[in-house]
Structure 1
């Protein structure tokens, strides 16, 4: 994802959620939620930055459609977020 933050970023955290049946918001556990491991920090406000990350989907997860919500946070502020529909298959 490429984005331009509205404020300087020294550190940020990644949070990922899945919406099951379009209603139930469930957090997705991450082994590393430090967003600066997936983009170059520090970042100046207005700079164009590329954030790259990938999730390993455990083979034991059921086959199910999920709406994934991906968020980057600085403290309690959301820097950017997006949602994407996925289908988990085994």
Structure 2
């Protein structure tokens, strides 16, 4: 393949990735839940329309941008599905948000960070519509906590 062909393939791939990622609408968790900060942007892919519809066997990519409200030596990522108003944890393959996510700990107050991760939609996950709650938890507080879809739009 010549250079023109390689550029064309790269452009097609870049266009596909740009189209398949969606900046989603989300709602911050309540301050009473120990949240001191919030996400400034959340992107999910593949998500072609909202609410996002993930299928068994897909790998979902997430990118969360936030400004830290606290210094913290650690950061843990936790995801819950809200089923009948009860949060049910969905284990992530790597809950340590300071490794393999684009972040370097310690997290410093006032700095802006982008956390990136992915997870597989396992066949064992129920096929139901639910609200997802995502937390990035520091050593002493929740730096980020939000739910999606934002059902209060």
User: TM-score per shorter chain, which class?
Assistant: 0.7 to 0.9
Q: Could you list the per-position Cα deviations for residues 34-86 of structure 1 after superposition, in whole angstroms to 9, with x for gaps in the alignment?
A: 0112222222210111111122110232321011100011234111111113x
What do you get for the CA RMSD once the two structures are aligned?
Answer: 1.5
Q: List alignment gaps of at least 5 residues for structure 2.
A: 1-63
- The structure whose RCO (Cα within 8 Å, separation 6+) is larger is 1
Based on CA coordinates, which of the two structures has the bigger radius of gyration? 2
* Runs of at least 5 residues in structure 1 that lack an aligned partner in the other structure: 86-90
Correspondence 1:14-25 to 2 at 5 A: 14-21=77-84, 23-25=85-87
Q: List structure 1 segments (4+ residues) > 4 angstroms apart after TM superposition.
A: none
Decide which structure has greater strand share: 1
| Bigger share in helix | 2
Equivalent pairs, count: 84
